[in-house]
Chain A
Amino acid sequence: MSNDIAGIEDCDAMLVIGSNTTVTHPIIGLRMQKAAKNGSAIIVADPRRIELVDNARLWLRQRPGSDAALVNSMCHVILRDNLADESFIKEHTENFAPFSAAVAECTPAWAAEITGVDESAIEEAAHIFATAEKAGIFYTMGITQHTSGTDNVLALANLALITGNFGKRGAGLNPLRGQNNVQGASDMGCNQAFLPGYQRVDDDGARRRFEELWSTSLPAKPGLTATEMTDAILDDRIAGLWIMGENPVLSDPNSDHVRKALAKLEFLVVQDIFLTDTAELADVVLPAAAFAEKDGTFTNTERRVQRVRKAVSPPGEARDDLSIINLISARMHLGHHVAQPQLFSTYTNRCNNASCLTPPFPAEVFDEIGQAWPFLAGMSYERLEKGGLQWPCPTDDHPGTEILHANGFSRGKALFSPVTWKGPSELPDDAYPLVLTTGRVLYQYHTGTMTRRSELIEEADLGPYVEINPADAEKLGIADGDIIQATSRRGSISLPAQVTERVDSGVVFIPFHYREAAVNVLTNDALDPVCKIPEAKVCAVRLEKRS
């Protein structure tokens, strides 16, 4: 998020697009609802009638995969009606002309055709957003999990730029990160192209700094993304894989493909708290500690680094991930590589007891992170004891940064990127006439390894289901509660139907938490060409009532 969570209540208007916030981020959803009660105008853009629609001034039901067209058209209206923040554009941005030319064609009439949203609604949305003094944009995977995911985000950035909604409270471009520490994992450089702190591996200067810090030489060629690894395994380019705390067999699109790849590996080690579907394929499974069993930090969606504290011991011989990494490092003894086999210079095996931490301790690693990335240099466990801090926090006395770009953009001027709408890679046809979109429910989380083992949650939840519009249900002879076979080009699952107006006709929705009806067996693993995100949010399916 460019802004912070507390600031949501200050938004005069907000565009919530591709985010079922009250379900995926319930406490942020609560802040939005409170803002609405206090007069903030919420525009919800979502193919489903999500709960937040009840609190919204306006609901746009765009077709799945048509987001960029909708957003471009809003920009078109804003420019057409002279509602843009011209002084902001002049002072803080560049490349405006090509952008302006690109959206010139994106008339509401054009967008209405693609999105299914009325022209007047697009115009109203543009007006609400542009006339608000402070307007924030909030999105999640509904925007990004598309073959055009990068374009969708750029289109939203353009919208925030032309309305001058950066660098002030109650505004901003705010991706709501889905997992507790997805922000931190990215920050820490668990990415094939970036070292910690978003420093490119192919940037010689950056790499040299890390080579110095780590006293070793580093590879300059960017590696493979998680989504590319699957094919690389099948092509024999990757032989060994270490998966720490992931369950790609359930979470990734086109599960069967992933399963095939993992099975082909020469060597797979999985480190997790449960024997997941992925772990079952491993050659070695290492038992890890859960969040309440270790110390460390998570970074939340508003860039706030917060402490994680050990409350109980891990079960049996399970150990925290940091200790496991260190223990494996100590055994590597690579002849051709650096003399020093240990990952951290302070590493000494001070303790042989399985239940105790293997040094270096989290606080020591955190201090090294501060050396690696200046944005965290001003943080320490001691400071975090008093509460979380938002990066950038470069010095010991820096209070942290609630709002990014308050003093201008780090690259000088923000860049407009013209975006051309491209449809999803798979569209409905006669054989697969319905559009399937996926998402979450309030009670479950991701692949359910945790929530489905929490008794009360499982008790309160309804289990897997497919949402289908009454009109479609009638056509197919489906009644509420019927068991349905859902089939795509990649696979088939069966689950009960929920006949509801929440989805439009032609669209069906399935939550992805349930291994007994794993929707990612159906979804499309086609990738966004830039960031390699898969198109989990749109694919074509066929529904049949099971006899």
Chain B
Amino acid sequence: MLLLSQMKITINDSELTVKSGITILEAAKKGGIAIPTLCYVEMVSDSSCELCMVEVKGMAEPVKACATKVQKGMEVVTDSEELKTHRKDRLERLAKTHFGDCKAPCNLTCPGQINVQGYIAHVAKGEYEEALRLVMERNPFPFSVGRVCPRFCETRCRRILVDEPVSINHLKRFVADWCMTNKVDLKLGRESNTGKKIAVIGGGPSGLTAAFYLSKKGNDVTVIEAMPKLGGMLRYGLPEYKIPRNVLDYEINAILRMGISVRLSQRWGTDFTLRDLQDQGFDAMLITIGTWADQPLEVPGGTLPKVMSARKLLKNIAEGNPVELGRRAAVVGGNNIAMEAARSLIRENVDEVTIIYPRAQTEMPANQRNIREAEKDGVQFLLMASPTQVMEGARGLDLELVRMKLGEPDKRGLRLPEAIPGSTNILRVDNVITSLGQSALAVPLTGGDLEEQLELTPKMGIKANPRTSLTNLDGIFAAGDATSGPRSVIQAVVSARRAAENIHVHVNDIAKAAGEGRFNFTRGKSFDNVDLKVFDGINVKLREKMPERPSERSTQDFDEVRLGFTETMARKEAGRCLSCGCTAFDRCDLKQQCLDHGVDPGKSGMGKKPRYKLEHSHKTLLVDRDKCIFCKRCQNSCKYDALAVSATSFDTLDNPLDISIHFNEKCVNCGKCVDNCSTGALNKKDAIVPIINEKLRQVKTTCPYCGTGCQLLLRVKGDTLMEVTADPDVGPNYGDLCVKGRFGHSFIHHGDRLSTPLVRRRKGGPLDPASWEEALDFVAGAFRCIIDEKGPDALAGLSSARCTNEENYAFQKFFRALVGTNNVDHCARY
């Protein structure tokens, strides 16, 4: 039966019974139909966004759903093509002046797409454990990558336009080391078991990364490693002065704690075949064998006993095998492994180490940072030279070299080096170490039918589809250096993480999650595009210097050269971050509406230069008017009439000019306006971590302050409270909170928190940390003693209005039922 106050309307052909007096927008919302809007606030109709336009049968023009009341029999259409076009057009106009970065350049540049700004912000707040958890969302090798990463991110850090980039990688290493030193258990959760079995061939950075993420998703993973220990190139290719073994062992153990099975000293092709693994019931296999095959030195004498590959040298050193070395060594090649080999030779007391390379130093494939470090260690460089033969001399080896010059540019403009005829000379050395390039395989695979069918790349890598990670064989995947040739650790991690996602959806037969869109507002894609006004008011503050052992000492042993940031340095360095990315990343309605309506501001246009200054003067909020779209939700949601949004005039696109967001003296810092902001124009000063990859958990609870009992939504990441908001539909507060309710909870993670029992072992002495056992025995013993000597009424208890009902009930029960006294009270009187 229809009540008098009710009526029927249709929206998009579905019939709804609605209350009279409400708007079309409210009616649709109740009926589960979302009408797009950027400015709607309950009880206030002030549609400036014009997204909620709908068509009503019988009306000539579309109307605003938020400002039009329902009428009996109304027929409403919310999603016609005309409306969609209108909305798209409107969004494109709004986007044209929206000036900001959705994601920070560091985040976008990182091959791992790590939320770099996020972990820097955690460091700035002293939340090191959460910073590490955030890194490990996308990279399970923070210790290693934190030591050897080529740091793509730092090359794009906008701070370069002010002074120097933020030392991002040192911060990553700091949080990892801090957690190791402080014995932090990260408590990384594993999803429920899928029952699927996956074999990973190769336990290097790629294999362990894939194993980690597959295991995290609940799959049963077995890593099969040819060497006696896990780690691959991290253990056998990177010397200890780069990654100390205890650090690597700790890192690998942390990965294995996810619940990964391991088989060691099992070589593929010798000890097992792919077919064997299939027979053992593995649902999928991943090949991550890295690049262990060396390109030989193809000159006469290239196979003499004292000629050895750099990789073999490093492996022998890593395993502690004796290597016969003389006083002089030549290293042929200019890649990263060559640098590490040269530096290791210095540490093995070889007096003269010379790197030989046929081009200029700047053209070496090795990371320039590694070249500089080798130089610092005293490695010599013989450039524009190439070996032509190796001969056994009277004392050691005679390495014949020819001088090189750059030839004429070829069709592509490339100038290849060519030998200068007759320019040979001899370099006398005791050892020749070669590092001329590595590949997955030296010869095609044999040993099994699947091995023989497996398709390889021309460079003797495993061929895999970069999008699906699949090889040409069903259920067999490949990733990492084995597919790409030698790359950085972070690139191996990325390749393997992608493979893990692909394998997970493949074996569990689920749809692949939509890839990360390229949607991004930016204040400038390249440095040239960034308006320098953005940096007005930012003072020069040079980066913290990484403490290092001096070369004359560090070359004496294989101990780590770079010692890591101290906590003070890390906090200072993190404070240099310009926080380019938007802290409203996960809540921005403008972005969502643009995505929903296929608006790409990269094409249709976005703000290009700042029109306003970032305002820091508000006590709890940061105001960025360049992001304001003039929706006025802040003003309309404020119950204190504490802020006014205005503009002096409007441009031809109807966008406001000279926006002012003015807070008056009525503002009580309750922060509700931020929760209602449709972009990142308003920000909470303490919510500086953008939420990008893994979502927040929301926990409903009751406020711990006054007796009103406001219902809170705690937004939690890992084990850290990130932000507090309130649900507008839940009483008694219905979305309202006071300043304490929204901003008064960082005490939870304060360093002053008591974290261990304290006991005063003698009267007048200090309070010392103690175990729970000791403290509890002390308490119970003292209580018993007092009861025995003076009776139960000599004991008393003061309970708390801060504690729960259950705790208070238990407390008084303890005194009444166990002690036998009614001396129990609480603080109701204060």
Contacts and interface: CB of A to CB of B under 8 A. Distances in A.
Contacts of A216: 817
A229 B805 CA distance: 23
B14 to A, nearest CB: 28
Interface in B771-830: 772, 775-780, 782-784, 786-788, 790, 792-814, 816-830
Contact of A453 (B752, B808, B829): B752
A457 B743 contact: yes
A244 B807 contact: yes
B754 interface: yes
Interface stretch (A72-80, A245-253, A480-488, A496-504): A245-253
A96 interface: no
Interface stretch (B334-342, B442-450, B569-577, B729-737): B729-737
B376 interface: no
A406 interface: no
Contact of A287 (B748, B749, B756): B756
Contacts of B810: 322, 325-326, 343-344, 365
A253 B670 CA distance: 31
List the 3 closest A-B pairs by CB distance, nearest first. A300-B709, A316-B755, A296-B804
B805 A244 contact: no
Interface in A234-257: 237-246, 248, 251-252
B118 to A, nearest CB: 18
Contact of B824 (A24, A190, A245, A248): A190
A172 interface: no
A27 B732 contact: yes
B825 A180 contact: no
A476 interface: no
Given A176-B707, A459-B619, A327 B772 contact: yes
Given A180-B702, A182-B827, A238 B800 contact: no
B798 A242 contact: yes
Contacts of A201: 816, 822
A453 B823 contact: no
A543 to B, nearest CB: 24
B699 interface: yes
B753 interface: yes
A315 B129 CA distance: 12
16 contacts: A27-B736, A179-B802, A187-B805, A191-B828, A192-B825, A246-B798, A284-B757, A297-B804, A306-B711, A308-B702, A312-B720, A316-B756, A328-B779, A332-B784, A372-B809, A454-B745
Given A190-B824, A287-B757, A307-B702, A219 B801 contact: no
Interface in A169-212: 176-193, 195-196, 201, 210
Given A244-B807, A300-B732, A190 B826 contact: yes
Contact of A454 (B639, B747, B796): B747
B663 to A, nearest CB: 12
A432 interface: no
Contacts of B792: 219
B487 interface: no
B818 A334 contact: yes
Given A218-B817, A240-B782, A309 B825 contact: no
Interface stretch (A60-68, A107-115, A267-275): A267-275
A369 interface: yes
Nearest to A243: B798
A366 B752 CA distance: 31
B705 interface: yes
> Which of A189, A311, A327, A387 lies at the interface centre, i.e. has the most chain B CB atoms within 10 A of its CB?
A311
Nearest to B777: A331
A30 interface: yes
A328 B814 contact: yes
B758 interface: yes
B758 A26 contact: no
Given A275-B752, A309-B699, A354-B772, 20 more contacts: A25-B706, A27-B710, A27-B733, A180-B706, A182-B827, A190-B826, A191-B826, A223-B825, A238-B793, A244-B800, A245-B799, A304-B732, A318-B756, A322-B806, A327-B772, A337-B818, A343-B818, A445-B740, A455-B746, A460-B743
Given A25-B708, A300-B709, A313-B719, A308 B804 contact: yes
A6 interface: yes
B805 A329 contact: no
Contacts of A290: 704, 747-748, 753
A266 interface: yes
Interface stretch (A98-106, A126-134, A411-419, A529-537): A529-537
A150 to B, nearest CB: 11
> Which of A232, A300, A309 lies at the interface centre, i.e. has the most chain B CB atoms within 10 A of its CB?
A300
B653 interface: no
B323 interface: no
A97 to B, nearest CB: 33
A161 interface: no
Contacts of A351: none
A195 B816 contact: yes
Contacts of B685: 456, 459
Contacts of B772: 317, 319, 327, 354
A24 B744 CA distance: 14
B686 interface: yes
A30 B639 contact: yes
A223 B775 contact: no
Contacts of A232: 796
Interface in A263-297: 266-267, 269, 272-275, 279-280, 282-288, 290-294, 296-297
B776 A223 contact: no
A185 B620 CA distance: 33
A372 B809 CA distance: 10
A315 B753 contact: yes
Contacts of A189: 808-809, 812, 816, 824
Nearest to A191: B825
A465 B830 CA distance: 20
B701 interface: yes
B623 to A, nearest CB: 15
A492 interface: no
B582 interface: no
Given A454-B746, A534-B830, A181 B805 contact: yes
Contacts of A217: 820
A205 B14 CA distance: 63
B149 interface: no
Contacts of B818: 329, 332, 334, 337-338, 341, 343
A539 B656 CA distance: 57
A544 interface: no
Nearest to B668: A442
A190 B808 contact: yes
A285 B810 CA distance: 19
A312 B706 contact: no
Contact of A180 (B796, B801, B830): B801
B424 interface: no
Nearest to A303: B709
B604 to A, nearest CB: 38
A303 B720 CA distance: 31
Given A27-B708, A195-B816, A296 B805 contact: yes
A536 B754 CA distance: 30
B181 to A, nearest CB: 15
B714 interface: yes
A46 interface: no
Nearest to B730: A387
B741 to A, nearest CB: 8
B784 A333 contact: yes
A141 B827 CA distance: 12
A193 B809 CA distance: 14
Nearest to A211: B817
> Which of A180, A191, A362 lies at the interface centre, i.e. has the most chain B CB atoms within 10 A of its CB?
A180
B767 interface: yes
A238 B808 contact: no
A44 to B, nearest CB: 18
A265 B708 CA distance: 36
Contacts of B805: 181, 184-185, 187-188, 296-299, 305, 366, 369
